Chain A
Amino acid sequence: MSDKPEGIVEILIDRETISGRIEELGREISAAYKDRTPLLVGVLKGCVLFMSDLVKEITIPVEMDFISLMSYADAHRPSGAARITKDLDCVIEGRDVLLIEGIIDTGMTAGYLLRNLEARRPKSIRVCTFLDKEARRILRIPITFRGFKVPDRFVVGYGLDFRQLYRNLPYIGILSDAITGLNRY
């Protein structure tokens, strides 16, 4: 996919750069959890492409599970409070958990999930995020493994969406304000 689809104004991180960084992350995670079998908990759906590439670069045994949180878009419906829409299949008590996020910006989703997972008494819990949009942070999130820091632009691709589209792009692109609606403000 060499041509940019309509709405992508710039490729922020190309696939080669992504691939190189994920190899490094795989090595870092393998070293950090040496002699252990961490449980990688992917936060759907933004984590999917990142996590599938990441696990291939991890050289120690790992287990995988997924979790999903209701979107804030649903807060505008009756009884709009965050809740888990897809819970873990396994028990995490006593486990070394590594939460895998596609992106952390305000930190609200990660913060909610950390609180929820910590209550299940894992042995340890750490955070790995592919992208870190620090400029938008509201909640402090302890990030142990970070792919890239990104500027305060609307990014899509490599699992990240806008209205469920663009997840399949093999790179991180910046989405046009005309698509997001931000050009009106």
Chain B
Amino acid sequence: MAVITVFREPGAMGKEVAARIAGRLGFSLVDRAKLVQLSGEVDLDEARLLHVEEAISKGGGKIDPETEGYARLFQDLIAQLAEEQDLVVLERGAQGLFRDRPGTLHVRFVAPRKFRVAQVKNREGLSERNALRLVRTLEAERTRYLRALYHLSAADPTLYDLTLRMDRVSVEQALNIIVTAVEEMGIRQAPREKIVENTLKPHLPEKGGNGRYVNDAESEFARFLEFYHIPFEYEPRTFQLETDAEGKTMEAFTPDFYLPEQDLYIELTTLKQSLVTRKNRKVRKLRRLYPEINIRLFYQRDFYSLMAKFGLLGEPVANER
């Protein structure tokens, strides 16, 4: 699907344009609110997301491995979402994540600092001095995702297809320019197969990595089953967990794998056990409502233990056991 990535200098009205371009083109805007929603879908709580955002934006370009793991999980979620929907993505390393992806337009909003400080001063009702301080803080913070996750400098002009100087063009003009760029560059006509082939596939293991798995853990697990010739189905069934008065589904659960010979459903989670309370609750609910169903929840540590057994956590080394 089509993606527009946005990098904004603070005060350059980038968010306003991004929100309006999303509305005009019918794209989904990926901002913090959207990420909060996505984090709920993978059983990460909002506090964890905010911690990741905070740690990266304040971290001076260096983050601890755990935070980086979560940040990359969010990158995977955004990449997966781009498989399903047209997106406008605000910062969060999107210029690195989708760097050479076909069907993507990278836009940067800039303006002289004096202009931007004035914008922030008016919008936030701050003094000139505090507006300047805020602008400087945000300038540093917004570059750190790219640096921390992709070792890229947000100042690199080659990361962008289009740079708009917002003290010289109006919001309406910016909108028109972006719409024209989307049309001229054929962003929305990019064939889906090409997008998958060129960008998502290389991040997945070759076998089983046909883009249908949500993350590398699922892809690896599928490869594991295939290796041992274990028949399986991927997400074959959705279990209704809760309905409203009219019978409309309010909550559902789709386990990742089904092993017909074992009559066993397997749900993988790449999250730590302590963070999967929502998923645990869903599994408990599923067992209560469908007592005949066998389901096994594979936690992050189960998965990595499996990999460790074969010496695959470090260098791949032949191991028989």
Min CB gap A87→B, angstroms: 15
From B262, B308, B320, contact of A71 by CB (8 A): B320
Is the Cβ of B316 less than 8 Å from the Cβ of A44?
A: no
By the criterion CB–CB under 8 Å, are A182 and B224 in contact? no
Stretch touching chain A among B19-27, B135-143, B298-306? B298-306
CB distance from A123 to the nearest CB of B (A): 24
Q: Which of B226, B230, B309 contacts A105 (CB 8 A)?
A: B309
Smallest beta-carbon distance A124→chain B, Å: 21
Task: Decide if B266 touches A138 in the complex (CB within 8 Å).
Answer: yes
Q: What separation, in Å, do the CA atoms of A121 and B309 have in the docked complex?
A: 32
In contact, A181 and B228 (Cβ under 8 angstroms): no
Q: What separation, in Å, do the CA atoms of A182 and B262 have in the docked complex?
A: 28
Residues A140 and B305 in contact, CB atoms below 8 Å apart: no
Least Cβ–Cβ distance between A136 and chain B, in angstroms: 7
B205 within 8 A of A: yes
Stretch among A4-12, A26-34, A56-64, A72-80 lining the B interface: A72-80
B318 touches A81 (CB 8 A): no
- Report A101-133 CB contacts with B as 1/0, cut-off 8 Å: 011011011011001000000000000000000
Residues A168-185 near B (CB distance < 8 A)? 180-182, 184-185
B296 at the interface (CB under 8 A from A): yes
What chain B residues lie within 8 Å of A76 (beta carbons)? 205, 312, 316
Interface residues on A, range: 35 or more
- Count A/B pairs, Cβ under 8 Å: 101
Distance (Å) between the CB of A161 and the closest chain B CB? 6
Is B245 on the interface with A (CB-CB < 8 A)?
Answer: no
In the complex, A46 has a CB within 8 A of chain B: yes
Interface contact A81-B227, CB-CB below 8 Å:
yes
Count of chain B residues with Cβ under 8 Å from any Cβ of A?
34
Give the residue name and chain of the A residue nearest to B313 (CB): A181
Q: Give residues 124-176 of A contacting B (CB, 8 Å).
A: 136, 138-140, 152, 154, 160-164
**A44-B320, A181-B313 given; A72·B227 CB < 8 A:** yes
Residues on B with C-beta less than 8 A from A105 are 309
Q: Are A181 and B316 in contact (CB under 8 A)?
A: no
A88 at the binding interface (Cβ < 8 Å): no
CB distance from A67 to the nearest CB of B (A): 11
Instruction: Give B276-321 interface residues, CB cut-off 8 Å to A.
Output: 296, 300-302, 304-306, 308-314, 316-321
The answer, yes or no, to whether B229 is at the interface (CB within 8 Å) is: yes
User: Which residues of chain A have C-beta atoms less than 8 A from B313's C-beta?
Assistant: 180-182, 184-185
B264 contacts across to A, CB distance below 8 A: 138
Cross-interface CB contact of A163 among B65, B300, B311, cutoff 8 Å:
B311
| Beta-carbon nearest neighbor of A101 in chain B | B321
Q: Are the CB atoms of B262 and A138 closer together than 8 Å?
A: yes
Interface residue from A46, A71, A111 paired with B230 (Cβ < 8 Å)? A111
- Is B319's CB under 8 angstroms from A108's CB? no
A21 at the interface (CB under 8 A from B): no
Which residues in A have some Cβ–Cβ distance to B below 8 Å?
44-46, 68-76, 80-82, 102-103, 105-106, 108-109, 111-112, 115, 136, 138-140, 152, 154, 160-164, 180-182, 184-185
Question: Top 6 closest A-B pairs, CB basis?
Answer: A181-B313, A180-B308, A73-B310, A108-B228, A75-B227, A185-B304
Question: Can you report 14 A-B residue pairs in the complex whose CB atoms are below 8 A from each other?
Answer: A45-B321, A69-B320, A71-B318, A71-B320, A80-B227, A81-B229, A82-B229, A112-B229, A136-B306, A138-B262, A163-B319, A164-B319, A180-B308, A185-B304
